[in-house]
Amino acid sequence: MFGVPQMGGESHESWWVTLKNSMNQRMLICVFTGFSSGLPFYFIIQLIPAWLRSENVGLKEIGFFSLIQLPYLLKFVWSPLLDRYSLPVLGRRRSWVLVSQIGLLVSLGILGFFQPETELRSILWLSAIVAFFSASQDIVLDAYRRELLPDHELGLGNQIHVQAYRVAGLIPGSLGLILADHFAWDLVFQIVAAFMLVGIGMTIVISEAISSPDIPPSFARAVIDPFKEFIQRRGIRRAILVLAFLFCYKLGDSMATALSTPFYIDLGFSLSEIGFIAKNAALWPAIFGGLAGGVLMLKIGINRALWLFGLVQMLTILGFAVLAEAGADPVVLALVIGMEYLGVGLGAAAFIAFIARESTPALAATQIALFTSVTALPRTFANAITGILVEGGQAEELGGIWASVLEALLWAGLPPEGLGWTDFFVLCTFLAIPGLVLLYWVAPINGDGDSGGNSC
Fill in the amino acid letter for 446. Answer: N
Least confident of 42-56, 243-257, 277-291: 277-291
pLDDT tier for residue 301 given thresholds of 50, 70 and 90: confident
Instruction: Work out the pLDDT band at 137, boundaries 50, 70, 90.
Output: very high
List pLDDT tens digits, range 327-368: 888 889 888 888 877 777 777 767 876 876 787 766 666 887
Q: Among the ranges 10-14, 37-41, 71-75, 272-276, which has the highest mean pLDDT value? A: 37-41
**One-letter identity of residue 305:** A
pLDDT at position 8 over 50: no
Angle, CA 80 vertex, CA 74 and CA 85 arms, to 5°:
130
Give pTM, 2 decimals: 0.68
Contact 72, 42 (CB under 8 A): no
* pLDDT above 90: residue 279: no
In percent, the amount of the chain with pLDDT more than 70 equals: 81
Task: Tell which wins on pLDDT, 110 or 158.
Answer: 110
Mean pLDDT of the chain: 79
Q: Which residues contact 75 (CB under 8 A, 6 or more apart)?
A: 135, 136, 138, 139, 369, 372, 373
C-beta neighbour count of 429 within 10 angstroms: 19
Query: What is the signed CA dihedral for 193, 195, 200, 201, rounded to 10 degrees?
Result: 150
Is the pLDDT at 286 greater than 60? The verdict is yes
Query: According to the model, what pLDDT value does residue 14 have?
Result: 52
pLDDT level of residue 100 (50, 70, 90 thresholds): very high
- The string of pLDDT tens digits covering residues 164-190 is 888 888 888 888 888 888 888 889 999
Query: Mean pLDDT, to the nearest integer, of 368-384?
Result: 76
User: For 278-393, where are the alpha helices, taking DSSP H only?
Assistant: 279-316, 318-326, 330-358, 364-380, 386-391
Instruction: Note the pLDDT of residue 252.
Output: 87
Q: State pLDDT tens for residues 259-276.
A: 787 888 889 888 788 877
Higher pLDDT, 329 or 222: 329
> What is the mean predicted confidence (pLDDT) over 407-426?
81
DSSP annotation string for 108-128 = HHHHTTS-TTT-HHHHHHHHH
Q: Of residues 401 and 25, which shows the higher confidence score?
A: 25
Q: For residue 2, what pLDDT is reported?
A: 38
CATH of the domain spanning 20-452, picked from 1.10.150.20, 1.20.1250.20, 3.30.2450.30, 1.10.3720.10? 1.20.1250.20
The torsion defined by the Cα of 71, 162, 336 and 347, in degrees rounded to 10, comes to 90
Domain extents in the chain? 20-452
Mean pLDDT along residues 378-404: 69
pLDDT of residue 152: 61
Please give the pLDDT value at position 174. Answer: 81
pLDDT score recorded for residue 324:
92
